[in-house]
Structure 1
């Protein structure tokens, strides 16, 4: 059995629990990949509605290495927030994305990203546009395919010249990484990946048409 995770602060356990609950909201059968070492834990998930990798980190009291894919629901059930620890459930067969992660190093900042308030405003404007265009559809065109087409058009737009798709910002807000108050945000790039980072977590997405830029690691 994998030893339990002991967080450096009970708030780390609470933050991870909130992240897992949001993932499960979008996929009740969600799996997450855990990587720990050097006193830090990284938890990777992929909410299907957004087509991004979501990353939540936490500080640990020990530096025992760990690399395993588990059920997000079972991990959430094993978190004891008051005690600041979590029981690691039995491994599961990882989905394909869990074997292809962004690189750990080599990230550099990309200029031109709005602040957190500007990003939230861009998401709000996109949601309003979708509702207006959806409401204007005649009855014979109000189909799932047509609504999906409108959604893809809107959420694939990029934030200025950064190359970051709006769906990545929407994912960050939906997962609690862009709370309704000012937080520092940054856009980073490494290889074919872009990463939107805040103190509450990150979302990573590959640039369209870029090379692999993947880190392939055993599950």
Structure 2
């Protein structure tokens, strides 16, 4: 077993923010895995919350220029974070899920126009949630099945924001993971594209997703 040196964050608040992110991932999936990539004094943590079909990315600044690329248990990494000390113990690596080998590109991102502000995006999510509940309640008893509710969800959350091509499920994921927190309606948000990828960036994290099927793509080890 390879024992990795602890990660030391440039600010203890970044350790707390990462712990909050991991806690939300584990809430959706107790067996969640995350891929860690570190280099040049920065850490990127990639996770894939179930149902949203997106990648969630949380970054943090490190004291040391550590080189790291490993997939680990999100729960074990969460347990290894010492918020007051601003450090984290990296657990033993695990076999990565398929998504961990298909990450967004690091470069080539271009701005996409037409993205609503944070307040408008939160409003769009609230309206979608209300619509889902209303349509779900209107279903006759014989159609109250998981398959029917999944169909409703796909119909609502696959809608895109204006002309951006960004599906509502990406915004829903951002809000659910704490990237669009309440009371921060003026927070700067931006949308970028690189090849088949879209990336919604906020001050608290990013949501990335492919807009094309995952075929004929290169896979890197996780």
So what's the TM-score if we normalise by structure 2?
Answer: 0.95
Secondary structure of residue in 2 paired with 1:125: helix
Deviation at 1:192, TM superposition (A): 0.4
Partner of 1:57: 59
Query: Secondary structure at the residue paired with 2:25?
Result: helix
Note the 1:46-195 alignment, pairs <5 A.
Answer: 46-180=48-182, 181-182=184-185, 183-195=187-199
The secondary structure found in structure 1 opposite 2:193 is strand
CA spacing shift, 1:9–1:72, aligned 2, 3 Å: same
Aligned residue pair count:
218
RMSD of the alignment, in Å?
1.2
Which ranges in structure 2 are unaligned for 5 or more consecutive residues?
none
The 4+ residue runs of structure 1 with deviation greater than 3 A are 208-212
SS in 2 for 1:101: coil
Specify every segment of 5 or more residues in structure 1 that has no aligned partner in the other structure, as ranges: none
Partners of 1:158 and 1:206 lie apart in 2 by 14
Query: Is the contact between residue 26 and residue 49 of structure 1 (CA under 8 Å) also seen in structure 2?
Result: no
Asked if 1:217 corresponds to 2:198, the answer is no
Q: Any idea what the Cα deviations from partners look like across 1:132-178, whole Å, max 9, x if unmatched?
A: 10111111111111111111100000011100010000000000000
Aligned-partner Cα distance in 1 for 2:154–2:114: 23
Residues 166-214 of structure 1 show CA distances to partners (whole Å, capped at 9, x for unaligned) of 00000000000001122110000001000000010001011145876x5
Q: 1:215 to 1:104 in 2, by over 3 A?
A: farther
